[in-house]
Amino acid sequence: MNDQPLVSVIIPHWNGIEVLSECLESLKQATYPRLEIIVVDNASRDGSQAWLREHHHDIVLIENDRNYGYAGGCNRGVARARGEYVLFLNNDTIQEPGWIEPLVEQIGSAPRIAAVQPKILNYYQRNRFDYAGGCGGHMDVLCFPFARGRIFLEQEEDVGQYDNSEPVFWASGTACLMRKDLFLEAGGFDETFFAHMEEIDLCWRLQLMGYEIRVEPRSVVYHKNAVSLPMNSSRKFYLNHRNSLLMLCSNYSLPLAFYLFPFRYALEWVAFGYAFTRLDWKHMGGILRAQVWMLAHPQVIWKKRCRIKKLRRLKDRQLMSRFYRGSVVLAHYLGGKKTYREIVS
């Protein structure tokens, strides 16, 4: 079926041959007829490069000189991609054989759709939504992300409650199909993020440009989650807090950023106090490192604001309906709401 658009699957990789092997074997069962598979190796130290050259001659292997993270790895993959669409895929996933066709059908249904994500279920509990994206990502106005099927650490059982395709605020980098031309026009992933929330930042920019992000639950992917960076590592806490603050300070208009920042800053110290009561030194350290980075890099924030200003076609008030207007932190931790439907009802 040569009339189908070429899809370039981009898999950023850093160590873990066994994980990558399972992903590639699953991907090669895909029924979509026109695939280009690109593995971007971020300077693995376990011999992944030689193993790929020996066992997978048909893939494109990019060997980076150092670890550029998810963001930098994917950007370098897109630079080599020949496809009309780029499909970002974590190396710790397996997929249903027919998972790509619904994504291509959905993104091709309207030119305003810039990106589509599948339903992402947990690899180990396959009737449960995965932490990393669930069935489509959302965000509150203070830049705390959540998803259909996942509120913080609460992961719902999948009983078909989110099997409708609809617009979402962000598509998970775990598995996400994008139009390559719009990815490049938006500037790709911001490599300052390194990893975590770079896909939310990109989806925000695409929406400021006037495009839409969707989820297509007919497509199903299973994710192991936190293989490259453990959930409770200090670096993960740091990246999550820093990148969320960076988005708030960069992507909103200046008046709205100034208005919202004090509320968000207060919640940072609430999180610090909560971590202190649990003697969670890694979380506390991650929060403090994020604060120090923000204070030390005003020039990075300003340059990012200038880049976004050039892309912006919609004003903040035109996007506000796509945010959760309250605080998902307060709704969950004080209001006791544990599901997406409870949050948005």
What's the pLDDT score for residue 232? 73
Q: Does pTM top 0.85 for this prediction? A: yes
pLDDT at residue 301 tops 90 = yes
Out of 199, 223, 247, a domain closes at 223
Q: Is residue 344 part of a domain?
A: no
pLDDT at residue 307 tops 70 = yes
Out of 195, 223, 251, a domain closes at 223
Q: Is residue 154 part of a domain?
A: yes
For residues 129 and 48, membership in a common domain is answered with: yes
For residues 108 and 144, membership in a common domain is answered with: yes
Q: Is residue 322 part of a domain?
A: no
Count CA atoms within 13 Å of residue 179 on its CB side.
21
pLDDT in tens, 118-172: 999 999 999 999 999 999 999 999 999 999 999 999 999 999 999 999 999 999 9
CATH number at residue 189: 3.90.550.10
For residues 99 and 189, membership in a common domain is answered with: yes
For residues 97 and 218, membership in a common domain is answered with: yes
What's the pLDDT score for residue 233? 86
The tokens for 34 are: 């026109």
Average pLDDT of span 194-215: 97
Q: Is residue 191 part of a domain?
A: yes
Q: Is residue 321 part of a domain?
A: no
Q: Is residue 1 part of a domain?
A: no
Q: Is residue 288 part of a domain?
A: yes
pLDDT at residue 46 tops 60 = yes
For residues 143 and 268, membership in a common domain is answered with: no
For residues 284 and 218, membership in a common domain is answered with: no
For residues 183 and 274, membership in a common domain is answered with: no
Total domains in the chain come to 2
For residues 212 and 299, membership in a common domain is answered with: no
For residues 62 and 181, membership in a common domain is answered with: yes
What's the pLDDT score for residue 192? 97
What's the pLDDT score for residue 130? 97
For residues 205 and 238, membership in a common domain is answered with: no
Q: Is residue 92 part of a domain?
A: yes
pLDDT at residue 67 tops 90 = yes
Structural domain span for residue 95: 7-223
For residues 218 and 261, membership in a common domain is answered with: no
For residues 50 and 128, membership in a common domain is answered with: yes
Average pLDDT of span 184-209: 97
Q: Which residues of 61-92 are buried (b: 16+ CB within 10 A; e: fewer)?
A: bbebeebbbbbbbbbbbbeebebbbbbbbbbb
